[in-house]
Structures are given as structure tokens and as C-alpha cells.
Amino acid sequence: MKSILAGDDPAPLYHQVKTVILREIESGHWKPGERLPTENDLTTKFKVSKITVREALRELSDLGYIRREQGRGTFVQRPPLEQGPRDLTSFTEEMRRHGLPASSRVFVQGLVAAPADVATALRIPPGAEVFRLRRLRLADGEPMGLQTAFLPSALVPGIADVDFAGASLYDVLRGRYDLSPVRATETHTAVLVGPTEARLLEVPAGSPGMAARRVAYLAAARPLEFVQSIMRGDRYEVVLDLVNPVRTS
């Protein structure tokens, strides 16, 4: 059988194999969750070596289009959603920009005494009353991350009665309380997803994840919200646009 790769293409063979597989994934020939052919089958299909196939699959895995599971095979997945320098938005607004419907599964919602780290972030006394909202965030029905938000209850009276299964917290803050954060600081850390989080996020325990801590501020630098998140490393990534501060003529 003749190879389906272009014989006059100067690109390396692994790149050609990657390009063909990617084209078939993006065309819907292989859909998210579907298992790809084995390395042996791909070797036969493309008339290349196993090393070439493995390099092509490694690059597709690095790009987030596939995942390789020990003992099970290689599966197609949706590529990660890129988040870079952007306006201060909610998860719901971010997903809207990607054309994906956002929803939430609420685990915890109510008023609690602020733990020490929450009190420090919100600049309130330890033990002061805060509103806590812990949710599983979903995009088009797929789990993306776990988020726990804390807000000083004095700023948001009655917010514990809001149904946040389908509501955006930032929409509620704007519409009901006329509160809009003007800036935020956010810190990201690479983590391994623990068993409990893995079950909720539908990934294997020990999978790479991204932990984030955000403090959003009102005008005059008054803290409004403290958020702790764990996002799926295979579906979420941060992209930074770096600029050299030294300009030369």
C-alpha cells in the first residue's frame, strides 16, 4: 500500500504524520473521547517507523489534542483553552468568548467564619463572616475546574439565597449589588490533582493541574473577592505575552 504522506513534502515525516492526524481530529473524523488506532496501525497506515509515529503523538499530546493512558491507548480530547493577559472577567464570561456554554455544580454555599488566610486576603478580622461559594465549573458540560470564592458578607447581604447553579457570580455582583472589581492579582502554581478533585474533574489522580489564587479589588483597593481554584491541566493553560522593556532604535 502506498503511503498517504506527500512524497515531495520537505517537512519531517513526524510533522507530516502529526498534521494528517490533527486534520482528521479537527474535521471530526476522530472525535473527543474516541480512541486512536494503535501505534502499529498508524505505522502501517503512514508507512513510517514507530519512532516517527511516537514523535507525532508526543507533539499532539503536548498540544493537548490527545491523551495517552497506560494500558488503554491514545484518546482524542479537546485542545486546552488558552487564557492570557485579558480583561478582569468571570469564568462564565471567559467561556462565552470561546463560544462554550458555562454551568456550575454547587457543592457549598453559605455564610462561614473567615479562616486566617481568607481574612488576610480580604483584609478583614479572622473569624469575620464571609460568604463562601464552592463550585465545579463546567464548559459545554465538561468539568474544567473547582473554584471556591469568598466575599465579605457585609458587602453582599442576602447573597446566600441566590441560585448559583446557572448564575454568574460577577453578573450577580453587578446587577444586584452594583459591585464591579476594577483589578485583581492572580497567582498560578503547577500541582498534581488529588483523588477527590480528580474524581470531580473526571481525570486520573495525579494528573497535572493548575492551582490559582485570585484577589479582586474594588476602587480604593478594597478587596471584594478571594478565589482558590484548581483547573484541569489538560484543558486550561495560561499564555503570557511578554514584551522587552528595552527599546532600541
pLDDT string in tens for the chain (249-residue length): 345 665 555 678 888 888 888 888 878 888 888 899 999 999 998 888 999 998 888 878 876 788 888 788 898 887 665 454 444 455 655 655 656 667 789 999 999 999 999 999 999 999 999 999 999 988 888 888 899 999 999 999 999 999 888 788 988 999 999 999 888 888 888 899 999 999 999 989 998 898 989 999 998 789 999 999 998 888 776 665 555 555 544
Neighbour count for residue 36 (Cβ, 10 Å): 19
CA distances from 70 to 31, 34, 73, 110 (A): 20, 16, 7, 41
CA distances from 102 to 38, 112, 164 (A): 34, 27, 12
CATH number of residue 136's parent domain: 3.40.1410.10
Contact 227, 149 (CB under 8 A): yes
Residue 37 to residue 210: CA distance in whole angstroms = 30
> Domain for residue 248, yes or no?
no
For the chain, helix (H) and strand (E) counts, in that order, are 7, 10
Residues 155 and 197 in one domain: yes
Residues 109 and 57 in one domain: no
Residue that has been written with the C-alpha cell 503547577 in this structure? 190
Residues 131 and 229 in one domain: yes
Contact 14, 52 (CB under 8 A): yes
Residues 98 and 217 in one domain: yes
Contact 178, 152 (CB under 8 A): no
Contact 133, 149 (CB under 8 A): yes
CATH number of residue 71's parent domain: 1.10.10.10
Neighbour count for residue 78 (Cβ, 10 Å): 17
Residues 100 and 45 in one domain: no
Residues 57 and 93 in one domain: no
pLDDT, tens digit, 9 for 90 and up, residues 164-178: 887 889 889 999 999
If we measure between CA atoms, which residue out of 73, 99, 70, 94 comes closest to residue 83? 94
> Domain for residue 243, yes or no?
no
Residue 204 to residue 200: CA distance in whole angstroms = 10
Phi first, then psi, for residue 221 (nearest 5°) are 60, 30
- Provide the domain count of the chain: 2
Residues 86 and 65 in one domain: no
Residues 70 and 86 in one domain: no
pTM: 0.62
Range of the domain at 47: 13-76
Residue 42 to residue 78: CA distance in whole angstroms = 21
Residues 220 and 162 in one domain: yes
